[in-house]
Structure 1
Amino acid sequence: MSILRDRPFRLLWTARSVSALGNALMPVTVVFAILHSGGTAVDVGIVLTCQAVGQVVMLPVGGVWSDRLSRKLVLMATDAVQAVCYGLLAAMVFLGHAAVWQFGVTYTVAGMAFAFFTPASRAVVPELVESGKLQPANALLGLTDHSTKVLGPAVAALLLAVSTPGIALLIDSLSFLLSFVLVSRMRLSKPLERPEQQHFFTELREGWAIVAERRWYLANLFAWGVWNFGLAFFFVLGPVVMENGHGGATGWSIVLMTGAVGSILGGLAALRYLPRRPLVTTNALALVGIVPLALLAPPAPVLVVAVGVALTFATTALGGEVLATTQQQLFPKEMLARVSSLDWMISLIAMPAGYAAAGPVSELLGLRTTLLVIAALIGTPCVLLNLSRGVRSVQRLADGTIGVVGERDAVAPSGDSPAPAPAAPAEAAGPSGR
């Protein structure tokens, strides 16, 4: 927690906490705002689809511009755009003139702005903190995200019970305004010296090419895409299992709440646990993802499923922060946003694809067979990847940073000129003393 003594990071963490809580209100608030304005379930689906598509399409663009410009300015711009978008929606709801197309356009623009925020917010962290503090910093930011996702729906429900969707939209707008002010006061302790700008597509290819050069890392990204695809089946088929005499809506709520608690516990573990072989560890943690799917197949009692989900979400949260830290140290700082945008894009495409496939596949194969097949699908790449020499060569070095042992052109964490990696890794880290 000593990382919060660093004022620049403290400002970023506070800004992220405020805007994340406001943003966590949206999944519930926007849906009911559309319905209260005369929209239908079809309209809700169209608006949410437009927002998701806009975000995926703009992620590569956001990655390039977050590497071209000051990431601080990019974060401020995204905060400003989202504050205006949600402020306009709140005004339209208050005035009673909100049409479905207005929700679609405004929510899509907000999603596009978020596509710039996502890569910039991860890439800016190495500009604020030292290499040895990256994982605690990522863990604190992750804890904020997990906690607000738990609190957000509850706060949104309370606001909707005592007021109108317009109030929640206004609060979200104000949260981004406050985030803008906080980020504007943030001073980058390690600002980048960016190379001369080239053509947009040239820079995009450069960012993605550096990932493709390390095929084992690209394979690791796609393996996590498969994992996200498989987990989507859990979210679609889990309620179906519960509805068929195994706990119903109450049972499913218990499962999701324990999963949220597991995410927070995993984030806390990431504050201290520094694995010696980061990618090997995260792939091993990903194997736990087969547990919820396997437990739903018999199906097991609700409480057993809930414990399995809590364990899965805890290991996912821990693995996510370790992966973020590894990415920040394996690639040059001036390309981090582009690398991060590729990572996010794979995940954002995989989850909706899983949602769409879950129903038809379960009808074709049957519920139990589908759950077991998907469990095997997400587990197999994790095992195979850990057999890769490239994945096993990513290790925590003697100075505490992460590098590629034996790779002569390993990229220095600072983004300086390539240098040989040290010959031997550090001892197994275990819990950090920070």
Structure 2
Amino acid sequence: MAHPQGPEAERAEEPQRTVLLAPAFVRLWSGTTASGLATWAMPFILGLAVLDGSITAFDLGLALATRTAGFLLAVPFGGLLADRLSRRAVVLWAAAAAAAATPLVAVGVGGSTGLMAAAAAVVGAGQGACRPAFQALTAEVVDEPRRQQANAAITFSVRVTTLLAPGLTALLSTVLGIGPLLLITAALWAVAALAPPSGVRGPVEARARSSFRAEFADGMREARRHPWFIAGLGALTTVIATGYSATGVLLPVVSRDVFGTEAVLAGALTAYTVGALAGAVLIGRRRFSSQGWTALAGLALYGFAPLSLLFPVDPLVVFAAYALAGVGIELFNVPWFTAAQREVEPGKLARVSSLDFLFSYGLAPVGLALIAPAAQVFGTDIVLAVCAVLCFLAPAAAARAPGTRHFRRSTQD
């Protein structure tokens, strides 16, 4: 077998030092962090535009709906293209499209709702195409022994953004205004397009390609080849569509009606983010012997979030439950991404990752839309109890699937 040449050989010869010092990873981390910050910022900035009267709540809802639609439509195509072309090229063009469309969102604010909504759809499409490409590019840039640390560092930066960015953005809005803030997010998308390094995999030769439909079906077959992946994805989708959606919709209601203050809402969300930061640090430093079961147990911890809203407890109990949920979600996320990058056939990784994002994130809006009507029909307590039970049971059921103990297809569990 020929020895690897070029960037792959250089990475193979690097000493096994921390991945945080590797220049290629620093570039990758910069790109993923910039895309994550830009993704988070747009809905927050448009929310500020509602507060200052530039747009209406209907305009905001329409823009976010079209952005979500663009994301969901682009995710599977992004996965297909990232497996067919260079992953770096897909990141470049997807992020560049989001960067180009964001100024049009700014033009539409207070001017044309249609333009704002259409541009938001393009931004969402760029975001959706980036996600599976970034996942696959990480597997190319970082060697397997250091991928867990790399994924932990990436998710840590996302959580820091979530913790610090709202206050900073609100402060900047008093000086810059909505339009300039949106232009800053366009610059972040430009960083996401230009910063990441090249991977080791080039485009697939034309004669080796099948139709898009056949390649998507091939990605589905690859996903089904890993029972632990199908089971884990089912558990993750259940938790996001029930527990995450329930707390997202009902936490503000409980904070207002039960505790009589919005401080519980703010405190719970802050505790969740702090817990997630702690979870990212923990999983970046330690590998558990039964990694898959530990990850699923961490995912099940999210059940304590809706459970804490069921009873008239001290606010500190709610904060502790949300902090525990935050720790657990990162105990799941990082090994989950790392296992997919290790176990899935490299040429199909982006397609399998796109299925992950399509199902887990794609069903979240459905859950958000159904929670409020369900609470009106059955009562808030019933909905919270059912969601908590599902959050506990879904990961437990997934743990029974072959390979879930270590998130490995060949492991004898």
Q: Quick check: TM above 0.5?
A: yes
Report how far residue 225 of structure 1 moved.
Answer: 0.3
Q: 1:165 to 1:38 in 2, by over 3 A?
A: closer
Q: 1:213 to 1:21 in 2, by over 3 A?
A: closer
Aligned equivalent of 1:154: 167
Q: What letter matches 2:225 in structure 1?
A: E
- Secondary structure at the aligned position of 1:261 is classed as helix
| SS of structure 1 residue aligned to 2:201 | coil
Question: Residue in 1 aligned with 2:371?
Answer: 358
Tell whether 2:148 aligns with 1:135: yes
1:40 maps to what in 2? Answer: 56
**Aligned residues of 1:55 and 1:115 also touching (Cα < 8 A):** yes
Number of the residue aligned with 1:167: 180
2 CA distance for matches of 1:199 and 1:124? 23
Tell me, yes or no, if the aligned pair for 2:98 and 2:125 is still in contact at 8 Å.
no
Greater CA deviation, 293-302 or 13-22? 13-22
Q: Which amino acid aligns with 1:211?
A: A
Where does residue 411 of structure 2 map in the other structure? 405
Distance 1:201 1:359, change over 3 A: same
Contact 1:241/1:299, CA 8 A, preserved across alignment: no
Q: Distance in 1 between matches of 2:402 and 2:227?
A: 11
Gaps of 5+ in 2: 1-16
**How far does residue 128 in structure 1 lie from its aligned partner after superposition?**
0.7
The equivalent residue for 2:91 is 75
Instruction: Find 2:281's aligned residue among 242, 246, 268.
Output: 268
- What do the CA deviations read for 1:93-134 (whole angstroms, capped 9, x no partner)? 6xx7x3111110101101011111000001111111111011
Shift of 1:330: 1.2
How far is 1:203 from its partner? 0.3
The corresponding residue for 2:101 is 85
Following superposition, the deviation at residue 216 of structure 1 comes to 4.3
- Provide closer, same or farther for how the CA distance between residues 220 and 19 of structure 1 changes in structure 2, counting only shifts above 3 A: closer
Structure 2: distance between partners of 1:161 and 1:127: 42
The amino acid of 1:358's aligned partner reads: I
- Please tell me whether the aligned partners of residues 66 and 119 of structure 1 are also in contact (alpha carbons under 8 angstroms): yes
Structure 1 residues 216 and 140: alpha-carbon distance in aligned structure 2, compared to 1, 3 A threshold? closer
Q: Distance in 2 between matches of 1:289 and 1:128?
A: 32
Match of 2:224 among 212, 237, 257: 212
1:290–1:378 contact (8 Å) kept in structure 2: yes
The answer to whether the 8 A contact 1:192-1:333 is kept is no
Are 1:229 and 2:241 counterparts? yes
Please, which moves more after superposition, 215-224 or 41-50? 215-224
Q: CA distance change for structure 1 residues 314 and 336 in 2, over 3 Å: closer, same or farther?
A: same
Write the distance in 2 (CA, Å) between the matches of 1:286 and 1:216: 14
**Which of 190, 197, 217 is 2:209 aligned to?**
197
CA contact (8 A) 1:192 1:334 kept: no
What are the Cα deviations for residues 234-267 of structure 1, in whole angstroms up to 9, with x where unaligned? 1111111111141421111111111111111111
CA distance in 2, matches of 1:35, 1:259: 25
Give 2:152's aligned amino acid. Answer: A
1:322 corresponding residue in structure 2: 335
TM-superposition CA deviations, 1:390-418 (whole Å, max 9, x none): 323x36xxxxxx66224xxxxxxxxxxxx
8 Å CA contact 1:135–1:321 kept in 2: the answer is yes
Structure 1: 5+ residue stretches without partners? 396-401, 407-424, 426-434
Deviation digits for residues 273-311 of structure 1, max 9, x if unmatched?
A: 212222211111122111111111013211110111011
Q: CA deviation at 1:39?
A: 3.1
What residue number does 1:179 align with? 192
Contact 2:234 2:394 in 1 (8 A): no
Which residues of 2 match residues 368-387 of structure 1 at below 5 A?
368-387=381-400
String of CA shifts for 1:144-175, please: whole Å, max 9, x gaps: 11111222222221121222101101111122
Moved more, 39-48 or 116-125: 39-48
The answer (yes or no) to whether the contact 1:216–1:390 under 8 Å persists in 2 is yes
Judge which range, 159-168 or 132-141, deviates more.
159-168
C-alpha spacing 1:272/1:228, structure 2 compared with 1 (3 Å): same
- Identity over the aligned pairs, expressed in percent? 26
> Could you tell me which residue of structure 2 aligns to residue 347 of structure 1?
360
Cα distance change of structure 1 residues 307 and 247 upon mapping to structure 2, 3 Å threshold: farther
TM superposition score normalised by structure 1: 0.86
Q: CA RMSD in A?
A: 2.0
Distance in 1, Cα, partners of 2:386 & 2:53: 42
Contact 1:22 1:152 in 2 (8 A): no
Aligned length: 394
SS in 1 for 2:363: helix
Which amino acid letter does the alignment assign opposite residue 70 of structure 1? S
